[in-house]
């Protein structure tokens, strides 16, 4: 394969994100790999305890991904098949697959085109469209705090029937608390690009003993005892299958890395805050660029820094993105709304005209590089390139 000059330029430039796997995490993985027990075991139990303490939750249950966590948290609600679940359309496709895979029906909610999250009026409108919803998934988009209590009230749902998608929101504070304790269950992601990168992995936190016990069994085939407990001294090969399960457990290798990575999170977050502040200072007056809304009454985890290319008469988002990429600056789009994707159009029906805020934002959102390894000089370089791309003086 011939490597083009543009590809070469890209390979030496500013990536959209960097997964920082620390020397401590590598050493922890190595220790587990050398120890003879590599699947779910004592490291997972320790990571769960430490993560629960970190967010102040009663329980944390480790899973293979946030997507699996969302599915399990929804199944733990034991709703009738086909019950309706509210979710923003401005979300990751996996979060909507999770609702379908739990045997439930997603009902898409519009967003405020400024905050890119549903406001209570959007939730109320969606809840009134058709039979009453039984549950809701609330997304803390980009790491910004969503007002979970206000959204639950708008949906007329008790908090136990709210599941938070906190894939972006480890470190977010909302409603005066760390995200992870507000609703029935909260699902975190440790995917390679996330604030606590492990490659793959997820965690569900809950205050409810029954939910924790359900997810703990359902993540491993519905078994009454996992392998570690069966092989412990005095353990037995016997087990029962108590509930319908899936295969979504975390390995001890991942969990050991997670424990080591968690010790770095505060430092990483403080760098994310500095990067966000530098972008804000540099881009605030750039014509045609709308800045992310600053969090009110909470703490932003700055998983993403999403601007909107918002001057309809000028250059398009796609042109700006292509221009940045041409200069070797990685960017992304969060998200292509779910109702714009073919499979979901087929399964969920036609939402044309029903989600105007989402449709308006869909062609404008652009995620700039955001990770703790970004230097000030790199942030300045991105800002300069963005100004150039939108045709504004720098």
Ligand X SMILES: Cc1ncc(COP(=O)(O)O)c(C=O)c1O
Nearest Cα residue to 153 out of 176, 188, 120 = 120
Pairing of strands 177-178, 59-63: unpaired
Stretch that binds ligand X, among 49-57, 92-100, 108-116, 286-294 (CB under 6 A): 92-100
Stretch that binds ligand X, among 61-69, 276-284, 289-297, 351-359 (CB under 6 A): 61-69
Query: Tokens standing for 133?
Result: 């919803």
Stretch that binds ligand X, among 90-98, 152-160, 258-266, 309-317 (CB under 6 A): 90-98
Query: Binding to ligand X by residue 44, rule CB under 6 A?
Result: no
Query: Binding to ligand X by residue 261, rule CB under 6 A?
Result: no
Q: At residue 136, what are phi and psi to the nearest 5 degrees?
A: -150, 140
Q: Tell how far CA 313 is from the center of its chain.
A: 33
Of residues 181-200, those binding ligand X (CB under 6 A): 189, 191
Q: How far apart are the first and last CA of the chain?
A: 38
Position among 94, 133, 145, 258 found at the interface with ligand X (CB under 6 A): 94
Distance CA 118, CA 136 (A): 12
Stretch that binds ligand X, among 6-14, 22-30, 53-61, 162-170 (CB under 6 A): 162-170
Query: Binding to ligand X by residue 163, rule CB under 6 A?
Result: no
The helix-helix angle for 120-128 and 148-155 (nearest 10°) equals 30
54: Cβ contacts below 8 Å, ≥ 6 apart:
178, 262
Between residues 54 and 191, which has the closer beta carbon with respect to ligand X? Answer: 191
Position among 48, 105, 164, 165 found at the interface with ligand X (CB under 6 A): 165
Position among 61, 74, 85, 95 found at the interface with ligand X (CB under 6 A): 95
Give catalytic residue positions.
Answer: 194
Of residues 272-291, those binding ligand X (CB under 6 A): none
Query: Binding to ligand X by residue 383, rule CB under 6 A?
Result: no
Position among 47, 51, 54, 92 found at the interface with ligand X (CB under 6 A): 92
108: Cβ contacts below 8 Å, ≥ 6 apart:
87, 88, 89, 126, 338, 339, 348, 351, 354, 355
Min dist CB 36 to ligand X, Å, is 28
Between residues 95 and 123, which has the closer beta carbon with respect to ligand X? Answer: 95
Of residues 201-240, those binding ligand X (CB under 6 A): 202
In the β-sheet with 305-309, what is the strand arrangement from edge to edge? 289-290, 305-309, 365-368
Give the SS3 label for residue 155. helix
Residues lying near ligand X in the complex (CB under 6 A): 65-67, 91-92, 94-95, 139, 165, 167-168, 189, 191, 202
């Amino acid at each position: 394969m011939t490597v083009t000059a543009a590809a070469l330029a890209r390979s030496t430039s500013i990536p959209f994100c960097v997964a920082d796997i620390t020397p401590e995490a590598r050493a922890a993985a190595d220790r587990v790999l050398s120890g003879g027990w590599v699947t779910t075991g004592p490291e997972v139990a320790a990571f769960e305890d430490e993560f629960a303490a970190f967010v102040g939750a009663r329980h944390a249950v480790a899973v293979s991904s946030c997507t699996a966590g969302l599915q399990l948290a929804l199944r733990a609600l034991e709703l009738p098949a086909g019950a309706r679940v509210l979710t923003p359309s401005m979300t990751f496709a996996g979060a909507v697959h999770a609702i379908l895979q739990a045997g439930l029906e997603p009902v898409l909610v519009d967003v405020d085109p400024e905050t890119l999250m549903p406001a209570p009026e959007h939730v109320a409108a969606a809840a009134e469209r058709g039979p009453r919803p039984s549950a809701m998934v609330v997304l803390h988009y980009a790491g910004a705090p969503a007002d979970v209590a206000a959204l639950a009230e708008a949906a007329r749902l008790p908090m136990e029937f709210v599941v938070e998608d906190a894939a972006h929101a480890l470190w977010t504070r909302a409603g005066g608390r760390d995200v992870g304790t507000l609703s029935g269950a909260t699902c975190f992601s440790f995917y390679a690009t996330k604030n606590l990168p492990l490659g793959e992995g997820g965690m569900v936190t809950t205050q409810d003993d029954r939910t924790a016990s359900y997810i703990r069994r359902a993540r491993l085939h519905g078994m009454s005892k996992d392998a570690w407990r069966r092989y412990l001294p005095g353990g037995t090969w016997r087990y029962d299958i108590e509930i319908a399960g899936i295969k979504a457990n975390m390995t001890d290798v991942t969990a050991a890395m997670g424990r080591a990575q968690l010790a770095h999170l505060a430092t990483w977050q403080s760098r994310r805050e500095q990067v966000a502040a530098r972008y804000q200072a540099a881009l605030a007056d750039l014509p045609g660029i709308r800045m992310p809304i600053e969090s009110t009454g909470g703490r932003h985890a700055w998983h993403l820094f999403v601007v909107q290319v918002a001057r309809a008469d000028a250059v398009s988002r796609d042109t700006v993105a292509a221009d940045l990429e041409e200069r070797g600056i990685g960017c992304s789009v969060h998200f292509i709304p779910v109702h714009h994707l073919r499979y979901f159009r087929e399964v969920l029906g036609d939402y044309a005209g029903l989600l105007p805020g989402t449709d308006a934002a869909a062609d404008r959102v652009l995620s700039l590089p955001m990770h703790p390894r970004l230097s000030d000089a790199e942030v300045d370089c991105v800002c300069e390139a963005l100004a150039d791309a939108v045709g504004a003086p720098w």
